[in-house]
Chains A and B, each alone.
Chain A
């Protein structure tokens, strides 16, 4: 396998833009990545595109707008891990030697999707969905378990949302630029007890793109190539094997494989973007990614360790909670954020001296599984 680098990234501002078609948002992200990589669009040999609720042949619709035609396009869907799946596909096609230059793009218009403002309805035949299960309920059940098993408090979870909303204020791409207090978060409308509204990620529209090539060619385009040190994508395991709902076994397993592939450990990660679909998620995922022992995620947030100035900054972009969560765009947006951080171009939210970054995303409710898919990428400058 060849070593692969990210040579350009781009993103739209995230938010609620029902008037913006996905093809336009996708194009804007691809153009931004093309400009960032300083590359002629004609050099792009293939593309991976992902959307969960957008149109079919979404990649072709986007690339047509960006002046690219006649190339091979893969359209992939993998729920919240869709963007990460597109990025991994692009990485793999280059690492394997099939192609030299490709673009990954993720796009979503949640405000115009059939589920705008609603829950994702259960698939026909999904027994737990027909019993009333949903993503917020799933994570509320885990959060309650975490509180009972480890004594993690409501205030500690609320602090994650405080931190990520504060970070979002520093990110020009963020949907929300508003600081929140612990009281505002805990007193917001109850969704699935103990999860309140301001501990949930919002509905978001947006797109993000990344351009990759072999490390051997990267210097032709950029002075700051960012190397893809690990790419792992897994489906979840069965619920009956799930050790304890307090923690995500699939994230733990994926992280172990990613660290092995990158030849590093959690102590080497200088910046992390992880899937904080709910404030609870960040505390649990910090443990599963090895940033602290199990049950000590609450301490990490209490001690400021995951703040931008902390030892292991988590979600400096604002995360899903503040930057927003356009389902299939999120995985690529996380990569863009890590690339900016590792190039030391992240402006007011820059993590000082970041050299290694990790992006984690997961999702997709599947009856009988912990969750559908999880992806981890580790990038190095």
Chain B
């Protein structure tokens, strides 16, 4: 029997034609964007929020290669922040860093991938990958 695939969070990402799309939330009153999504605007406290899919690609803002175990992950693995054209900075894991040396400013795309596996389930989420 195959393991159940469970997203790390509902409503955080979706799979588009070109890969992963992150789902941000935009305040209809003041325009502020949030990722991960918030139920109320933290700037103007408006409650009328709409979902906005971010562009598939953004720029690498900063990164680190982690050489110690953390949460469910064995080292080494990479973490970073990616800036999307919509003005949202998103934190997440980076895949493909072994093949393409990471550099601040490089083009990154969002992808959907397995984060970790447990006995009965596989947890998946978004990651970033060099868009070379």
Contact = CB atoms under 8 A, between A and B. Distances in A.
Same complex origin of A and B: yes
Given A119-B69, A148-B62, A240-B88, 19 more contacts: A128-B91, A130-B115, A131-B91, A131-B92, A132-B66, A132-B70, A132-B77, A132-B93, A133-B91, A136-B66, A137-B70, A137-B79, A141-B79, A144-B104, A148-B104, A190-B65, A193-B67, A239-B89, A245-B61
B115 A131 contact: yes
Given A122-B71, A193-B65, A245 B9 contact: no
Contacts of A240: 32-34, 42, 88-89
A136 B67 CA distance: 10
Nearest to A190: B67
Interface of A: 119, 121-122, 127-134, 136-137, 140-142, 144-145, 148, 189-195, 238-240, 245
Nearest to A146: B62
Given A144-B104, A148-B104, A191 B93 contact: no
Interface centre among B61, B65, B71, B104 (most CB of A within 10 A): B71
B67 A192 contact: yes
A194 B66 CA distance: 9
Nearest to B36: A127
Contact of B64 (A140, A148, A238): A140
Contacts of B32: 240
A131 B79 contact: yes
Contacts of B100: none
B66 A144 contact: no
B81 to A, nearest CB: 7
Interface centre among B64, B66, B68, B88 (most CB of A within 10 A): B64
Contacts of A239: 89, 91
Contact of B63 (A128, A136, A141, A191): A141
A127 B8 contact: yes
Interface of B: 8-9, 32-34, 36, 42, 61-71, 73, 77, 79-81, 88-89, 91-93, 104, 115, 125
The 8 A-B residue pairs with the shortest CB-CB distance, nearest first, are A140-B64, A193-B65, A145-B62, A190-B67, A148-B104, A192-B64, A141-B62, A132-B70
B92 A144 contact: no
Nearest to A136: B68
A288 B88 CA distance: 25
B97 to A, nearest CB: 10
Nearest to B80: A141
A131 B64 contact: no
Nearest to A148: B104
Nearest to B33: A240
A190 B75 CA distance: 11
Contacts of B88: 240
A95 B50 CA distance: 48
- Give the residue among B68, B70, B77, B89 with the most A Cβ atoms within 10 A: B70
A133 B32 CA distance: 25
Nearest to B73: A132
24 contacts: A119-B68, A122-B71, A130-B115, A131-B71, A131-B79, A131-B93, A132-B73, A133-B70, A137-B66, A137-B79, A141-B63, A144-B63, A144-B104, A190-B65, A191-B67, A192-B65, A192-B67, A193-B64, A193-B65, A193-B66, A195-B64, A240-B33, A240-B34, A245-B61
A140 B69 CA distance: 15
A18 to B, nearest CB: 22
Contacts of A148: 62, 104
A157 to B, nearest CB: 14
A141 B81 contact: yes
